[in-house]
Structure 1
Amino acid sequence: MFSASSGPLAKQAMAAGLTPQQVVSVRISLAALLFLGGLAVVKPRLLRIRLADWRVLLGFGLFGVAGVQAMYFIAVARVPVGIAMLLEFTAPVLVALWVRFVRGTVLPAKAWAGTALALLGLAMVAQVWEGLRLDAIGLLAGVGAAVCAACYFLIGEHALTTRHPLTMATYGMLVGAVAVAVVLTPPWALPGEILARETPIGPVWTLLAGIAVFSTVIAYTFGMSALRHLPSNVVSVLSLAEPVIATAAAWALLNEQLSVIQIIGGLTLLGGAFLVQRASQPPVGHQVHPATDDMASVRPAS
């Protein structure tokens, strides 16, 4: 729920003059420092990793952290926040397709019904019958965010069998921060005059701090806490409320409006994603990973 706030806050920061790449760089870098500092104080032993872990950590950081956030913020800069969130939340459909055609796992008919429903909703949101009236680059970036989010789930599922989620989150953020600083822009290169610039909801620097703290660090912390007490399928279904929250936040903070057909399409997309999630998750009571003090699961923040 906290991560849903990143879109409206980021859009205000970008309207003030920052690029999506600069917002992503600050978000990931600040979150990496907070995770690293917190883990060093609370559980420093979780910072110890093996050389063999780096391949997974690199993939997780490049795609599951840097990729998903960069693509999401590029989409937010060009299309309404609610649509950007809805596009990213087609990730469960992509995961289901990977499980079926790459892993060879037979999925129930409910999963395919959900896939068809989600694609129908996506077409309604994009209004494809009007020649993709929405910005094409924004739509492609939203789809890219979904692909990277699917990578997050798939890489994370594999990695969490032997690695602690706090270790994954910390090093994933560090890898993502380095990648963004090298490939896109370093966080220290942000223009000071823009950071101090006022927006309708506060100075730019406070928006960036809010994105890093509330939409990233606290979002991860709440996700892990929830997964310690609730089955993963329940938490994943609850996370589908985020696009609705983001759309409501964009309406309240940015006065963004969606047409009736786009709202119906968004609800249809969420319904399809709900079916895919339920059909693809293990039964309640079956734990994918042991729920101990050193093993839990985390979810991505946008």
Structure 2
Amino acid sequence: MTTNTQTLVTSRTKGTALVLAASAFFATSGPLAKPAMTAGLSPQQVVSVRIGLAALILLAGVAVVRPSLLRIKRGDWRVLLGFGLFGVAGAQTLYFAAVSRLPVGIAMLLEFMSPVLVALWVRFVRGTVLPAKAWAGTALALVGLAMVAQVWDGLRLDVVGVLAGIGSAMCAACYFLLGEHGLTTRHPLTMATYGMLVGAVLLMAIAPPWRLPGEILVADTPFGPVWTLLVTVAVVSTVIAYAVGMSALRHLPSNVVSVLSLAEPVVATTLAWAFLAEQLDVIQIIGGLTLLAGAFLVQRASQPSAGGQLHPTTEDLAAVAQRD
């Protein structure tokens, strides 16, 4: 194996590990946020606090540790605004809107149709021919997701809910595509920080966190006071998850990352079973294995050249930031 091939394989392996890690961090949001909502907070309030706190943490942390990463060019604003509005605020808000009108399983399936949208964009807009195995793996992963979500349970049609779910899928696709595009010139922490700031402004207008009832914030849950859950969701499920997810897009193309990210509902379901005593049946277990098999097929089908270093290294980006 040549040095170049070894580098490509190592980068693809690292990217896969980062995607799976990001999916695990994202998946903790459900088990952590559910007790807060049970205590009396609305989904909109939870997501507003989640994104708002994450934006403050990222901004303060980057300003102290790597202030050069906060310097951006005028031409970067379009991508950053789009990433924040669609990839952060839009995906979160529309998903919760879908959940409020549809069974959770169907809302989840609609949102996680995003890999299909990403694949279609890559194929017909970018003109990149994807291997047949990539399409087969994507379809297999979606079948597994339907089994995990059990979409047939309480099936009912609500036009507004379906449209919200489709909208959340489109916004999730923007997360992968705009994130990948932005990383051609910006550091993952730059993308995550500004995306979170833009998303926070919009979400705070919808559900101002300063209007949260104090008695609910200090209410006890099986995992501690509500406010500690919100802080944990902001740090673990948002700051770390988005930073790691952006880093993965430096090693793998968006269509591969979007399919591998389907591991999130599998992890979320497992965590809910382990910590919230939610039922996990045989069909869901088989669905989880099917989903992971499909994701593995897509990862293996990705071209070796696509698994290489897609974007500049950290050192290259640091040098660019210092010159800006």
CA positional deviation for 1:146: 3.4
Which of 151, 156, 159 is matched with 2:179 structurally?
156
Cα distance, 1:137 vs. partner? 7.5
What is the rounded CA distance, in whole Å, between the counterparts of 1:208 and 1:22 in structure 2?
Answer: 10
CA contact (8 A) 1:72 1:145 kept: yes
Say whether residues 1:39 and 2:59 are aligned partners: no
3-state DSSP of counterpart to 2:28? helix
Q: Which amino acid aligns with 2:131?
A: P
SS of structure 2 residue aligned to 1:232: coil
Q: Which amino acid aligns with 1:152?
A: Y
Q: Which AA in structure 2 matches 1:232?
A: L
How many residues are aligned here?
Answer: 291
Determine which of 19, 32, 53 is the counterpart of 2:42: 19
Give the aligned partner of residue 241 of structure 2. 219
SS of the aligned residue for 2:86 comes to helix
Give the superposition deviation at 1:270: 3.5
Give the Å deviation of 1:139.
Answer: 7.2
What CA distance in whole angstroms lies between the structure 2 residues aligned with 1:130 and 1:209?
33
CA contact under 8 A between 1:8 and 1:254: conserved in structure 2? yes
2: CA distance between counterparts of 1:284 and 1:99? 12
1:191 maps to 213
**1:79–1:139 contact (8 Å) kept in structure 2:** no
Aligned-partner residue type, residue 312 of structure 2: P
User: Which residue does 1:232 correspond to in 2?
Assistant: 252
Shift in alpha-carbon separation, 1:140–1:256, aligned structure 2, 3 A: farther
Shift of 1:76: 6.5
Q: Which position in structure 2 is the counterpart of 1:260?
A: 282
Partner residue, 2:73: 50
Aligned to 1:68: 91
Q: 1:67 to 1:278 in 2, by over 3 A?
A: farther
Structure-2 change in CA distance of 1:133 and 1:250 (3 Å): farther
In structure 1, the partner of 2:135 is 112
User: For residue 15 of structure 2, what is the aligned residue in structure 1?
Assistant: none
**1:274 is aligned to 2:296:** yes
Residue aligning to 1:172: 195
Instruction: Confirm or deny that 1:208 pairs with 2:230.
Output: yes
Aligned-pair identity (%): 76
> CA offsets, 1:29-78, max 9 Å, x none?
10100111111112222222223222111110011111223344556677
1:13 to partner: Cα distance? 1.0
Letter of the 1:253 partner, please give it: F
Cα displacement (A) at 1:144? 4.3
Contact persistence 1:7–1:73 (CA under 8 A): no
Q: Kindly report the root-mean-square deviation, in angstroms, between the aligned alpha carbons of the 2 structures.
A: 3.3
Q: Shift of the alpha carbon at 1:107? A: 1.3
TM-score, normalising length: structure 2: 0.76
Are the structure 2 counterparts of residues 148 and 130 from structure 1 closer, same or farther at C-alpha, using a change threshold of 3 Å?
same
Cα distance in 1 for partners of 2:56, 2:156 equals 40
Residues 127, 133 of structure 1: 8 Å contact kept:
no
**Structure 1 counterpart of 2:128, one-letter code:** T
Structure-2 separation of matches of 1:125 and 1:203: 30
Matches within 5 A, 1:88-127: 88-125=111-148, 127=150
In structure 2, relative to structure 1, the CA distance for the partners of 1:195 and 1:79 (3 Å cut) is farther
Q: Which runs of 5+ in 2 are unaligned?
A: 1-23, 319-324
Give the TM-score taking structure 1 as reference length. 0.81
* Deviation of 1:24 (Å): 0.7
Distance, in Å, in 1 between the alignment partners of 2:149 and 2:162 is: 8
Cα distance in 2 between the residues matched to 1:227 and 1:99: 14
Cα shift at 1:267: 3.0
Query: CA, structure 1 residues 126+3, in 2 after alignment: closer, same or farther (shift >3 Å)?
Result: closer
- 8 Å Cα contact 1:160-1:295 kept in structure 2: no
State the alpha-carbon separation in 2 of the partners of residues 294 and 17 from structure 1: 47
1:30 to 36, 40, 53: 53
Q: Unaligned stretches of 5+ in structure 1?
A: 297-302
Which residue matches 2:268?
246
